[in-house]
């Protein structure tokens, strides 16, 4: 349990997140988990969740300004002791004791520029101005933090490369930690996540088509790609082996993890990805791709999963065949995956995020604990 | 296709807020009638007790609301913005409906520390707030108030007419669905 500084009232922590109205995904689960875990360790918490969506370039900067205008120094006359900011542009917020635990920056102006996942054009003068402005905002607002953490090594490397700022990766457990289980290795590979292009479930469908074995696939998630995936499955002749389960409740999701043969998780350059941890905690191997980013911090080809080539769906098919034909291998990979993630805990996360505040309260400078 | 409604309200972090419970009840009633509902909340710094907040915080939060794009979420249209307390109704939306609910409005006497007295002279901040409200209310497709007194104040200060739409009587958490019929019908009438 984390030692809290002794005061005559609980310490107040405001957790800042950027909300996309009517959307709920990994970032929301991440923040909810943090608030819950801070609360169980005696901190008073509040979620500051400002809508952050935009249809024009100008609105990106206006949203940053909206965050900057918020006053989170006190609430009802009592100081807010710590602000923990997460996703862009929530970390633009001002506070005398701000710690950032960055989930996402605006990747469309950084590593995703020039890919199908970004519509920013560096040869467009207007886009250039917005890109420069957001980079300046990032440098300043991240630079002023007392401590900088990221959700994964991928995010930290990106911040160092594009913003010249150091940060420490700080991994946290997935939503249902303690409830994942294994109930055998069934006849399907499981895919979990929002059905959007960056998650690349089309590769799963192509891999299914390239496989020799009759492995099925179950996709748990909703999103704009659904119709396209259905059409692709029909065109490739695997519609009868692909189940689009849509949104599933927590119990069903845990059951799917428990019974699948393996989990497919091959988004484009993902930073963290709960799915990898959920798969490993369920004792299941992960099939991913060589450009899936942070997933590769956990998945090792031939050790706890298979790393295929995104440009060659046949390699995904071979991975599926391998795990179908050798259940013992699937079991061994899954066991090793579980060992890989066994040490990730909320105790460590909370300790790190509150370290500068506790040091300050105990008479230290308040620096250190993550990169400052 | 279900219609999306965004409820906009002022947030009181770290405090028990009766307004939050009202919003919960309204959201539940809208969902029962097959609307998709989400919330947008900004912290209400202006409600901090003296001596902390400078008056500019009153308008910083209002400006923050004004800067937000609340017309869509992940490219899906938000069909109705329903705003309740100051300064959430300053938000922009082509189908904004305002339902003014009881609020702890900033009290100039509390902020200055002056003893209670007959109506103090109008300050620049008061004039700015009135101007802001006049514009925000005029933009609304419909303007409702939950009490007659509030309606009279709106008329006096902005010249605008508001329709009386009281909250259901009693405990909102246990009020029967029928008690909300009129409220929901009025609030969603522009859809």
Q: What pLDDT band is residue B121 in, cutting at 50, 70 and 90?
A: low
Q: What is the DSSP string of A22-37?
A: T---HHHHHHHHHHHH
Judged against a pLDDT cut of 80, whether residue B113 lies above it is answered with no
Q: Is the pLDDT of residue B52 over 50?
A: no
pLDDT at position A1 over 50? no
> What residues form DSSP beta bridges with B37?
B5
- Residue with more model confidence, B111 or B32: B32
The mean pLDDT of chain A is: 93
Better-scored residue on pLDDT, B110 or B26: B26
Whether B123 and B108 have beta carbons less than 8 Å apart is answered as: yes
Report the pLDDT value the prediction gives residue A6, as an integer from 0 to 100: 57
Least confident of A102-106, A183-187, A355-359, B144-148: A102-106
Distance in angstroms (rounded) separating the CA atoms of residues A180 and A239 = 29
pLDDT confidence of residue A8:
75
Q: In this model, does residue A4 exceed pLDDT 80? A: no
Chain B residues touching A80 at Cβ < 8 A? 13-14
Asked if pLDDT for residue A9 goes beyond 50, the answer is: yes
* Rounded-to-integer distance, Cα A299 and Cα A64, Å: 35
Would you place residue B172 in the very low, low, confident or very high pLDDT band (cuts 50, 70, 90)?
confident
Report CB contact under 8 Å: A49, B41.
Answer: yes
Is-contact B41 B12, C-beta < 8 A?
no
pTM of the prediction? Answer: 0.82
* pLDDT above 90 (res B144): yes
| Distance to chain A for B165, nearest Cα, Å | 27
In angstroms, rounded to a whole number, what is the distance separating the alpha carbons of residues A356 and B131?
44
pLDDT tens digit sequence for A30-41: 899 999 999 999
What residue in A sits closest to B59 (Cα-Cα)? A69
Residues A51 and B90: their CA atoms lie apart, in Å, by 15
pLDDT band at B34 (very low <50, low <70, confident <90, very high): very high
Q: Kindly state the helix (H) or strand (E) to which residue A307 belongs, with its residue range.
A: strand A305-308
A10 burial type by CB count under 10 A (0-12 exposed, 13-18 middle, 19+ buried): middle
Mean pLDDT of A252-259: 98
Per-residue CA distances from A31 to A47, A90, A171, A220 (Å) = 8, 12, 13, 22
Q: Cβ of A76 and B48 within 8 Å?
A: yes
Identify the pLDDT of residue B107. 42
Confidence class of residue A164 from pLDDT cuts 50, 70 and 90?
A: very high
Chain A contact present for B189, CB below 8 A: no
CB contact under 8 A, B68 and A56: no
Mean pLDDT, to the nearest integer, of A143-164?
A: 95
Cα dist. A43→A34, A104, B158 in Å?
11, 25, 44
CB contact under 8 A, B74 and A54: no
Most confident option among A95-99, B103-107, B117-121: A95-99
Residue A8: Cβ-neighbour burial (10 angstroms; 0-12, 13-18, 19+): exposed
Q: What Rg, from alpha-carbon coordinates, does chain A have?
A: 21
Residue A372: per-residue pLDDT: 46
pLDDT at A134 over 60: yes
Is B177 at the interface with chain A, CB within 8 A? no
- Return the percentage of chain A with pLDDT > 90, whole number: 84
Find all residues with CB under 8 Å of A146, minimum gap 6, and list them.
Answer: A97, A98, A99, A356, A366, A367, A372
Please indicate whether residue B36 or residue A24 has the higher confidence score (pLDDT): B36
| Chain A CA closest to residue B14 | A46
Residue A219 has pLDDT above 50, yes or no: yes
pLDDT band for position B102 (cuts 50, 70, 90): confident
The beta-carbon neighbor of A71 closest among B40, B45, B75 is B45
Average pLDDT over residues A289-303: 95
Residue B174: the pLDDT is: 82
Helix (H) / strand (E) containing A100: strand A98-102
Using DSSP bridges, classify how beta strands A188-192 and A168-169 pair: parallel, antiparallel or unpaired: unpaired
Q: Residue B91 pLDDT more than 70?
A: yes
Read off the pLDDT of each residue in B2-13 and give the average, rounded to a whole number: 94
Provide mean pLDDT across the span B184-190: 96
B15 touches chain A (CB under 8 A): yes
Contact B73 A20 (CB under 8 A): yes
Phi, psi for residue B142 in degrees, rounded to 5: -145, 145
Per-residue confidence band for B15, with pLDDT thresholds at 50, 70 and 90: confident
Measure the CA–CA gap between A327 and A340, rounded to whole angstroms: 20
Question: What does the buried/exposed string (b/e) look like for A71-99 if buried means 16 or more CB atoms within 10 Å of the residue's CB?
Answer: bbbbbeeeebbbbbbbbbbbbbbebebbb
How confident is residue A28, by pLDDT bands cut at 50, 70 and 90? confident
CA of B60: which chain A residue's CA is closest? A69
CA distances from A101 to A34, A144, A146, A245, B101 (A): 11, 13, 11, 33, 36
Q: Peptide bond preceding B51: is omega within 30 degrees of 0, i.e. cis? A: yes
Please write the tens of the pLDDT for every residue from A99-125: 999 988 999 999 999 998 899 999 999
Q: Report the mean per-residue pLDDT for chain B.
A: 85
Q: Does A22 touch chain B (CB under 8 A)?
A: yes
Q: Which residues of A touch B19 (CB under 8 A)?
A: none
E strand or H helix that includes residue A323 = helix A313-325
Name the residue among B8, B147, B154, B142 with its Cα closest to residue B81. B8
pLDDT category, A75, cuts 50, 70, 90? confident
B45: contact with A, CB 8 A cutoff? yes
Using a CB–CB cutoff of 8 Å, tell me whether A66 touches chain B. yes
The reply to whether B10 touches chain A by the CB within 8 Å rule is: no
Residue-level pLDDT at A5: 56
* Higher pLDDT, residue A74 or A254: A254
Q: What angle do CA B165, B169, B170 make, to 5 degrees?
A: 150
Would you state the pLDDT for residue B129? Answer: 85
- pLDDT above 70 for A306: yes
DSSP letter at A293? B
Which of the residue ranges A8-22, A66-80, B113-127 would you say has the lowest mean pLDDT? B113-127
Q: Do residues B99 and B144 touch, judged by C-beta distance below 8 A?
A: yes
Per DSSP, the residues of chain B read -PPEEEEEEEE-TTS--HHHHHHHHHHHHHHHTT-EEEEEEEE-GGGSPTTS--THHHHHHHHHHHH---SEETTEEP-EEEE-STTGGG---TTEEEEE-------HHHHHTPPP-SSPPPPHHHHHHHHHHHHHHHH-SEEEESSHHHHHHHHHHH----EE-PPPSS-TTT--GGGGHHHHHHHTTT-
Q: Which residues contact A147 (CB under 8 A, 6 or more apart)?
A: A99, A100, A352, A353, A355, A356, A367, A368, A369, A370, A371, A372
Q: How confident is the model at residue B104 (pLDDT cuts 50, 70, 90)?
A: low
Whether B68 sits inside 8 A of A66 (CB atoms) is yes
ipTM over 0.90: no
Taking an 8 Å cut-off on Cβ atoms, the answer to whether B78 and A65 are in contact is no
Q: What is the pLDDT of residue A42?
A: 95
For residue A66, give the nearest of B48, B67, B71 by CB distance: B67
Quickly count: other Cβ atoms within 10 Å of residue A126's Cβ. Answer: 10
CA pair distance B149, A14, nearest whole angstrom: 36
DSSP letters for A326-349: -HHHHHHHHHHHHHHHTT--HHHH
Which chain B residues touch A66 with a CB distance below 8 Å?
A: 63-65, 67-68
| A121 neighbors A289 (Cβ within 8 angstroms) | no
Higher-pLDDT residue of B50, B140 = B140
Query: Could you identify the residue written with the tokens 């993890």?
Result: A257
Two structure tokens written together for A339: 């060992």
Question: In B, residues 76-135, which contact A (CB 8 Å cutoff)?
Answer: 76, 78
């Amino acid at each position: 349990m984390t030692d809290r500084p002794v005061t005559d009232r609980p310490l107040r922590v405001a957790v800042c997140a950027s909300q996309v109205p009517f959307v709920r995904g990994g970032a929301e689960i991440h923040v909810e988990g943090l608030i819950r875990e801070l609360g169980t360790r005696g901190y008073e918490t509040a979620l500051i969740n400002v809508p952050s969506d935009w249809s024009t370039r100008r609105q990106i900067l206006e949203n940053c300004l909206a965050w900057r205008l918020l006053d989170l120094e006190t609430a009802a006359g009592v100081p807010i002791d710590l602000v923990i900011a997460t996703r862009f542009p929530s970390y633009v917020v001002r506070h005398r004791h701000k710690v950032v635990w960055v989930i996402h920056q605006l990747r469309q102006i950084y590593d995703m520029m020039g890919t199908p996942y970004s519509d920013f054009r560096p040869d467009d003068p207007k886009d250039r101005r917005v890109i420069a402005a957001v980079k300046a905002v990032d440098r300043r607002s991240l630079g002023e933090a007392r401590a900088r953490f990221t959700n994964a090594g991928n995010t930290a490397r990106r911040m160092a490369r594009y913003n010249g700022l150091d940060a420490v990766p700080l991994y946290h457990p997935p939503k249902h930690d303690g409830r994942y289980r294994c109930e055998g290795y069934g006849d399907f590979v499981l895919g979990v996540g929002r059905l959007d292009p960056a998650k690349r479930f089309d590769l799963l469908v192509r891999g299914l088509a390239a496989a020799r074995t009759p492995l099925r696939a179950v996709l748990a998630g909703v999103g704009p790609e659904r119709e396209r995936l259905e059409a692709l499955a029909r065109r490739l002749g695997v519609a009868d082996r692909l189940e689009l389960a849509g949104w599933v409740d927590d119990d069903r999701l845990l059951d799917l993890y428990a019974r699948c043969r393996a989990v497919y998780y091959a988004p484009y350059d993902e930073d963290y990805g709960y799915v990898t941890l959920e798969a490993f905690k369920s004792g299941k191997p992960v099939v991913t791709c060589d450009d899936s980013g942070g997933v590769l911090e956990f998945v090792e080809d031939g050790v706890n999963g298979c790393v295929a080539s995104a440009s060659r769906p046949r390699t995904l098919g071979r991975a599926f065949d391998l795990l179908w034909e050798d259940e013992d291998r699937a079991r061994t990979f899954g066991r090793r995956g579980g060992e890989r993630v066994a040490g990730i805990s909320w105790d460590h996360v909370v300790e790190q995020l509150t370290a500068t505040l506790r040091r300050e309260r105990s008479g230290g400078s308040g620096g250190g604990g993550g990169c400052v | 296709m279900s219609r999306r409604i965004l409820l906009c309200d002022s947030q009181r972090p770290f405090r028990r807020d009766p307004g939050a419970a009202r919003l919960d009840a309204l959201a539940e009633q809208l969902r029962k009638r097959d609307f998709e509902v989400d919330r947008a909340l900004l912290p209400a710094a202006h409600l901090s007790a003296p001596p902390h907040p400078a008056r500019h915080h009153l308008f910083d939060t209002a400006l923050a609301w004004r800067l937000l794009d609340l017309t869509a979420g992940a490219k899906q249209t938000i069909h109705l913005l329903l705003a309740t307390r100051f300064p959430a109704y300053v938000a922009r939306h082509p189908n904004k409906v305002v339902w003014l609910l009881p609020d702890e409005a900033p009290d100039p006497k509390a902020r200055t520390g002056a003893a209670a007295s007959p109506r103090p002279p109008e300050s620049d901040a008061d004039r700015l707030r009135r101007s802001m409200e006049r514009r925000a209310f005029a933009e609304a497709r419909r303007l409702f108030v939950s009490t007659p007194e509030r309606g009279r104040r709106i008329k006096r200060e902005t010249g605008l007419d508001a329709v009386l739409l009281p909250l259901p009587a009693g405990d909102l958490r246990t009020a029967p669905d029928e008690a909300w019929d009129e409220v929901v019908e009025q609030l969603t009438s522009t859809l």
